[in-house]
Protein backbone atom coordinates (compact mmCIF):
# COMPACT_ATOMS: atom_id res chain seq x y z
CA UNK A 1 0.00 0.00 0.00
CA UNK A 2 1.23 3.49 -0.81
CA UNK A 3 0.42 6.57 1.25
CA UNK A 4 1.50 9.89 -0.22
CA UNK A 5 1.20 12.60 2.41
CA UNK A 6 2.00 16.15 3.43
CA UNK A 7 1.63 18.06 6.69
CA UNK A 8 1.40 21.80 7.25
CA UNK A 9 2.47 22.85 10.74
CA UNK A 10 2.80 25.84 13.06
CA UNK A 11 6.60 25.72 12.66
CA UNK A 12 9.68 23.61 12.06
CA UNK A 13 10.15 22.01 15.49
CA UNK A 14 9.19 18.43 14.78
CA UNK A 15 8.45 17.67 18.41
CA UNK A 16 6.66 20.77 19.64
CA UNK A 17 4.97 22.40 16.65
CA UNK A 18 1.50 21.21 15.70
CA UNK A 19 -0.21 20.15 12.49
CA UNK A 20 -2.55 22.71 10.90
CA UNK A 21 -3.45 20.73 7.78
CA UNK A 22 -2.91 17.21 6.50
CA UNK A 23 -3.47 15.25 3.33
CA UNK A 24 -3.01 11.51 2.85
CA UNK A 25 -3.56 9.91 -0.57
CA UNK A 26 -3.86 6.12 -0.34
CA UNK A 27 -3.13 3.93 -3.32
CA UNK A 28 -2.94 0.17 -3.74
CA UNK A 29 0.22 -1.08 -5.42
CA UNK A 30 -0.09 -0.85 -9.20
CA UNK A 31 -3.66 0.46 -8.95
CA UNK A 32 -4.71 4.07 -9.32
CA UNK A 33 -8.04 4.29 -7.53
CA UNK A 34 -6.88 6.85 -4.99
CA UNK A 35 -8.57 7.46 -1.65
CA UNK A 36 -7.94 10.81 -0.01
CA UNK A 37 -8.04 11.84 3.65
CA UNK A 38 -7.56 15.57 4.03
CA UNK A 39 -8.47 18.11 6.70
CA UNK A 40 -7.53 21.36 8.32
CA UNK A 41 -6.51 20.67 11.93
CA UNK A 42 -6.93 22.86 15.02
CA UNK A 43 -3.37 23.02 16.43
CA UNK A 44 -4.63 24.33 19.78
CA UNK A 45 -2.04 27.08 19.65
CA UNK A 46 -1.68 30.33 17.64
CA UNK A 47 -0.23 30.09 14.14
CA UNK A 48 2.77 32.45 13.81
CA UNK A 49 2.46 35.30 11.30
CA UNK A 50 5.39 34.03 9.25
CA UNK A 51 3.69 30.64 8.85
CA UNK A 52 0.40 32.30 7.89
CA UNK A 53 2.24 34.21 5.15
CA UNK A 54 3.72 30.97 3.80
CA UNK A 55 0.68 28.68 3.99
CA UNK A 56 -2.25 31.10 4.01
CA UNK A 57 -3.74 29.06 6.88
CA UNK A 58 -5.05 31.37 9.60
CA UNK A 59 -6.28 30.86 13.17
CA UNK A 60 -9.85 31.59 12.01
CA UNK A 61 -9.63 28.82 9.40
CA UNK A 62 -8.73 26.16 11.97
CA UNK A 63 -10.55 27.26 15.13
CA UNK A 64 -13.64 25.10 14.43
CA UNK A 65 -11.74 22.20 12.86
CA UNK A 66 -10.98 18.88 14.59
CA UNK A 67 -7.86 18.54 16.72
CA UNK A 68 -5.39 15.76 15.94
CA UNK A 69 -6.75 13.93 18.98
CA UNK A 70 -10.26 14.09 17.49
CA UNK A 71 -9.10 12.66 14.18
CA UNK A 72 -6.23 10.30 15.08
CA UNK A 73 -8.21 7.05 15.31
CA UNK A 74 -10.03 7.84 12.07
CA UNK A 75 -6.66 8.45 10.40
CA UNK A 76 -5.20 5.13 11.62
CA UNK A 77 -8.32 3.34 10.35
CA UNK A 78 -7.99 5.05 6.95
CA UNK A 79 -4.35 3.98 6.68
CA UNK A 80 -4.67 0.38 7.90
CA UNK A 81 -8.13 -0.51 6.56
CA UNK A 82 -8.26 -3.38 4.02
CA UNK A 83 -4.60 -4.34 4.40
CA UNK A 84 -3.62 -7.94 3.77
CA UNK A 85 -1.87 -9.81 6.55
CA UNK A 86 1.72 -8.53 6.97
CA UNK A 87 1.24 -6.03 4.13
CA UNK A 88 3.58 -3.06 4.35
CA UNK A 89 2.37 0.51 4.10
CA UNK A 90 4.90 2.77 2.37
CA UNK A 91 4.58 6.39 3.48
CA UNK A 92 6.03 8.76 0.90
CA UNK A 93 6.72 12.42 1.65
CA UNK A 94 9.26 15.08 0.73
CA UNK A 95 11.75 15.50 3.60
CA UNK A 96 9.91 12.60 5.22
CA UNK A 97 12.79 11.32 7.36
CA UNK A 98 13.92 14.78 8.45
CA UNK A 99 10.50 16.23 9.25
CA UNK A 100 7.14 14.67 8.35
CA UNK A 101 7.75 11.25 9.90
CA UNK A 102 8.95 12.88 13.14
CA UNK A 103 5.94 15.22 13.27
CA UNK A 104 3.48 12.39 12.59
CA UNK A 105 5.16 10.08 15.09
CA UNK A 106 5.19 12.78 17.81
CA UNK A 107 1.50 13.52 17.27
CA UNK A 108 0.53 9.85 17.45
CA UNK A 109 2.75 9.33 20.50
CA UNK A 110 0.83 12.05 22.38
CA UNK A 111 -2.30 10.01 21.66
CA UNK A 112 -0.68 6.88 23.10
CA UNK A 113 -0.17 5.38 19.63
CA UNK A 114 3.31 4.01 18.88
CA UNK A 115 3.72 3.83 15.09
CA UNK A 116 6.41 1.15 15.53
CA UNK A 117 3.60 -1.34 16.16
CA UNK A 118 2.52 -1.00 12.54
CA UNK A 119 4.17 -2.37 9.41
CA UNK A 120 4.90 1.14 8.14
CA UNK A 121 7.93 2.07 6.01
CA UNK A 122 8.87 5.69 5.31
CA UNK A 123 10.37 6.72 1.96
CA UNK A 124 11.76 10.20 1.35
CA UNK A 125 11.67 11.72 -2.14
CA UNK A 126 14.16 14.36 -0.98
CA UNK A 127 16.78 11.71 -0.16
CA UNK A 128 16.02 9.70 -3.30
CA UNK A 129 16.43 12.83 -5.46
CA UNK A 130 19.69 13.84 -3.77
CA UNK A 131 21.18 10.44 -4.56
CA UNK A 132 19.69 10.06 -8.04
CA UNK A 133 20.33 13.63 -9.25
CA UNK A 134 23.63 14.75 -7.66
CA UNK A 135 24.05 17.56 -10.23
CA UNK A 136 20.83 19.36 -9.24
CA UNK A 137 21.30 22.60 -7.28
CA UNK A 138 17.91 22.68 -5.54
CA UNK A 139 15.93 19.81 -4.09
CA UNK A 140 12.75 21.40 -2.75
CA UNK A 141 9.49 19.94 -4.04
CA UNK A 142 8.64 22.73 -6.47
CA UNK A 143 12.16 22.96 -7.93
CA UNK A 144 12.31 19.21 -8.52
CA UNK A 145 8.90 19.25 -10.20
CA UNK A 146 10.00 22.10 -12.49
CA UNK A 147 13.31 20.40 -13.30
CA UNK A 148 11.67 17.07 -14.09
CA UNK A 149 8.68 18.42 -16.02
CA UNK A 150 6.04 17.70 -13.38
CA UNK A 151 3.12 20.12 -13.22
CA UNK A 152 3.33 22.43 -10.21
CA UNK A 153 0.38 23.51 -8.10
CA UNK A 154 0.03 26.13 -5.35
CA UNK A 155 2.70 25.25 -2.81
CA UNK A 156 2.40 24.96 0.99
CA UNK A 157 -1.13 23.61 1.10
CA UNK A 158 -1.34 19.97 2.03
CA UNK A 159 -3.48 18.58 -0.79
CA UNK A 160 -1.71 20.46 -3.60
CA UNK A 161 1.69 19.45 -2.24
CA UNK A 162 0.60 15.81 -1.91
CA UNK A 163 -0.62 15.68 -5.51
CA UNK A 164 2.67 17.21 -6.70
CA UNK A 165 4.56 14.73 -4.53
CA UNK A 166 2.70 11.76 -6.00
CA UNK A 167 3.34 12.91 -9.56
CA UNK A 168 7.00 13.63 -8.75
CA UNK A 169 7.42 10.18 -7.20
CA UNK A 170 6.24 8.42 -10.35
CA UNK A 171 8.44 10.66 -12.49
CA UNK A 172 11.45 9.79 -10.31
CA UNK A 173 10.53 6.10 -10.57
CA UNK A 174 10.88 6.33 -14.35
CA UNK A 175 14.54 7.30 -13.86
CA UNK A 176 14.91 4.63 -11.17
CA UNK A 177 14.09 1.97 -13.78
CA UNK A 178 17.32 2.95 -15.55
CA UNK A 179 19.30 3.29 -12.31
CA UNK A 180 18.20 -0.09 -10.94
CA UNK A 181 17.79 -1.82 -14.32
CA UNK A 182 14.30 -2.96 -13.38
CA UNK A 183 10.82 -2.32 -14.76
CA UNK A 184 8.50 0.21 -13.16
CA UNK A 185 6.18 -2.65 -12.15
CA UNK A 186 9.05 -4.48 -10.45
CA UNK A 187 10.02 -1.38 -8.46
CA UNK A 188 6.49 -0.36 -7.43
CA UNK A 189 5.65 -3.92 -6.35
CA UNK A 190 8.85 -4.11 -4.25
CA UNK A 191 9.50 -0.65 -2.82
CA UNK A 192 12.12 -2.10 -0.48
CA UNK A 193 14.33 -1.66 -3.57
CA UNK A 194 13.98 2.12 -3.10
CA UNK A 195 14.52 1.87 0.65
CA UNK A 196 17.72 -0.13 0.04
CA UNK A 197 18.85 2.28 -2.68
CA UNK A 198 18.46 5.28 -0.38
CA UNK A 199 20.25 3.69 2.56
Question: Confidence band (pLDDT; 50, 70, 90) for 156?
Answer: confident
Domain hosting 11: range is 2-198
What DSSP designation does 157 have?
S
Q: Among 86, 83, 85, 71, which residue's Cα sits nearest to residue 24?
A: 71
pTM of the model: 0.94
> Per-residue pLDDT tens for 23-77?
999 998 777 789 999 999 999 999 999 999 999 999 999 999 999 999 999 999 9
CATH of the domain at 101: 3.30.420.10
Report the SS3 class of residue 138.
coil
pLDDT of residue 31: 75
Alpha carbons 30 and 183: distance in angstroms, whole number:
12
Question: Confidence band (pLDDT; 50, 70, 90) for 153?
Answer: confident
Q: How many CA atoms lie within 13 A of 63 on its CB side?
A: 4
> Per-residue pLDDT tens for 95-145?
999 999 999 999 999 999 999 999 999 999 999 999 999 999 999 999 999
> Per-residue pLDDT tens for 63-97?
999 999 999 999 999 999 989 999 999 999 999 99
The number of folded domains in the chain is: 1
Amino acid sequence: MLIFYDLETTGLNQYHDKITEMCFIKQKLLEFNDQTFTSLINPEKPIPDIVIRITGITDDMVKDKPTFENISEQLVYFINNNLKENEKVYFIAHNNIGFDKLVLSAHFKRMGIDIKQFNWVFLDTLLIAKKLYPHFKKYNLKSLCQKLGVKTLGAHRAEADTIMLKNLFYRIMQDMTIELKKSLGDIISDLDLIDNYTY
